[in-house]
Structure 1
């Protein structure tokens, strides 16, 4: 089972991915984790990535695509994987499709969690208020202004992926505003249809 999760920050991708990894025994692959692992393992592509990051640059699509390609060929991905945070752009999506094709693999589904962005901002506001009321500390990026900025960035850069995958016929949308268990049930329904 090979999946991509799409959706803005706070849509619940991490929660749903965790449930699927536990149920199906497949890894959730985050770009940041894969990048750090490649650098730590000092693979060829990891060394290239480290040089770019040490110079304060952004890691190129070529490097990211190679890191993902290497990672999905590891033993724990034989039964499948969930990609979270990759692809971020249409060129990355096309590179992934070419990569999977060269390995004789294909995606089972691209699942987008559709959410009401205003409701997400209200969730953040109430979470901040609850944390402060309980005497807790609020993370610097856990505030409505920073969150709105992340949503805007998501819309600009990543939302075109929805159109791309709709065009390839792989996109399935799920109501991310539903109860967590209902979202899980909807996702599992999509996966059953994909494997049928």
Structure 2
């Protein structure tokens, strides 16, 4: 390793502190609002923003086909959360140069250009009421193109609700819709009649009551964009069946938007894999690292790589490896902490196997602040471990691994040149297994929240079991990592 180019190291305490105090979400909120509001004085804006009583105001997008109940749900949401209800028609009621330009397109029954459209949205959301109270965008965006424009402008919702119902139900609702001219509230002759007789008497049939043919065309147009919108907002989307009493629909919507989408806070996965020889730790670590873009660290391979360097540390551990002796824990930890402190591990996370081997090493790792947030024990019996390893050999010509039972060599020529690993002899394996089990009970007690996985299955089945526990515990960061890797 070139000593003149030292990798940037980040103390592990930083990540732990950030997770504990929700720093990741705070920074995400600040940056997002800067991008949306684009203030002339960013520093003063951030100061004012942090001085607000509640920086985590609602930012909700409510989508759905015509007659699905968006207006009713949006009004109830705003009443409950004090957020600002925003529709595109309401935005056009403002009297300024942008709205007048947009209105001219509407008068000509032309689509508003997307640059003008996004400026109108940004202008509205940057007003003090939206910054202070949050917002509910009703039927905005209508297309994936509009959704992407919002994202490019930094307008990202915390929650997206999409209402769905069969077209037959929506067409029936459309024909029975009634409007309160005083409040603008929407009612229905069958599904939602007002309790107040006074309100019921003043209800009016909408002037824009659609014929079945027109409604069908509008539904078809909506469906062509709905799937793309679902993909765009899949990380924060909740689809709710609107073909039920409006009280139940609103209850489900409210329950969703009251669930913080940033909890648990985004943090880097720090994963430990334990298991006896032959349990498949290396393979599972590779699968996890490949899918989620985190760093795979096998302690044994790391020591070999350092030994191959011409560094002082490499020269120090080389005699231990050449004589097949265990490298002292203090030296291993020094090498391991240097690797775990690098930028890639700190920002992307890591999956570690081969260390710690006993409670003493686990305590040293813990005191160094490299605390795992997920620990797995891969479990197999000794008989399975011996069967997996003792019957495995490598072709020195091709580097291909074969197994006498599961993957026999293709012919006698390959069979003749196979090489078995001396460490995989039954006697050696029994010693290693005995050593592993002598430490396992103490390690399991040290990591009481560990998850136990049956590793006597197909490797991909084992990976699915691991992944289900990972995604359940680390949903946001793993999803983001998977998206970025893709």
TM-superposed deviation, 1:159: 5.1
Q: CA RMSD in A?
A: 2.8
Normalised to the residue count of structure 2, the TM-score between the two structures is 0.35
Shift of 1:164: 1.8
Residues 26 and 82 in structure 1, CA contact (< 8 A), matched pair in contact too: yes
SS in 1 for 2:451: strand
Q: Is the 8 A contact 2:359 2:439 kept in 1?
A: no
Equivalent position to 2:454, from 175, 178, 194: 175
**Which residue of structure 2 lines up, in the alignment, with residue 93 of structure 1?**
362
CA deviation after TM superposition for structure 1 residue 5, in Å: 0.4
Q: Give the CA deviation at 1:31.
A: 1.7
CA deviation after TM superposition for structure 1 residue 3, in Å: 0.6
CA contact (8 A) 2:296 2:350 kept: yes
Of 438, 459, 470, the residue aligned with 1:156 is: 438
Q: Find the counterpart in structure 2 of residue 80 from structure 1.
A: 349
How many residues are paired up?
189
Instruction: After TM superposition, list the pairs within 5 Å mapping 1:1-196 onto structure 2.
Output: 1-43=269-311, 45-50=313-318, 58-77=326-345, 78-100=347-369, 106-124=371-389, 127=392, 129-130=404-405, 131=408, 134-135=411-412, 136=415, 137-139=418-420, 140-158=422-440, 160-166=442-448, 169=449, 171-195=450-474
Following superposition, the deviation at residue 172 of structure 1 comes to: 0.9
Distance 1:36 1:129 in 2: 29
Task: Answer 1 or 2: which has greater helix percent.
Answer: 1
Q: Quick one: distance in 2 between partners of 1:36 and 1:124? A: 21
Q: 2:295, 2:348 within 8 Å by CA — same for their partners in 1?
A: no
Query: After alignment, is 81-90 or 42-51 more displaced?
Result: 42-51
CA distance in 2, matches of 1:57, 1:125: 22
Say if 1:17 and 1:82, in contact at 8 Å, map to a contact too.
yes
Deviation of 1:66 (Å): 1.0
- Assess if the C-alpha contact under 8 Å between 1:45 and 1:66 holds in 2: no
- Per the TM alignment, residue 89 of structure 1 is displaced from its structure 2 partner at its CA by 1.4
CA contact (8 A) 1:28 1:82 kept: yes
Is the partner of 2:447 in helix, strand or coil? helix
**Distance change in 2, residues 1:148/1:74 (3 Å):** same
3-state SS of the aligned residue for 2:423?
coil
> Quick check: 1:108–1:194 contact (8 Å CA) kept in 2?
no
Over 3 Å counting, the alpha-carbon distance change for 1:46 and 1:126 in structure 2 is closer
Post-superposition shift, 1:37?
3.2
2:21 is matched with: none
Mapped partners of 2:294, 2:276: distance in 1 = 23
Deviation string, structure 1 residues 160-192 (Cα, Å, up to 9, x no partner):
3223212xx3x1111111222221111011112
Distance apart, 1:91 and its partner CA: 1.2
TM-score by length of 1: 0.81
The question of whether the paired residues in 2 share the 8 Å contact of 1:52 and 1:59 is answered with yes
For residues 40 and 162 of structure 1, the distance between their equivalents in structure 2, rounded to whole angstroms, comes to 34
Higher relative contact order (CA 8 A, sep 6+): 1
Instruction: State whether residues 282 and 298 of structure 2, in contact with CA within 8 Å, keep that contact through their aligned partners in structure 1.
Output: no
Closer, same or farther in 2 for the Cα pair 1:9/1:53, shift >3 Å? closer
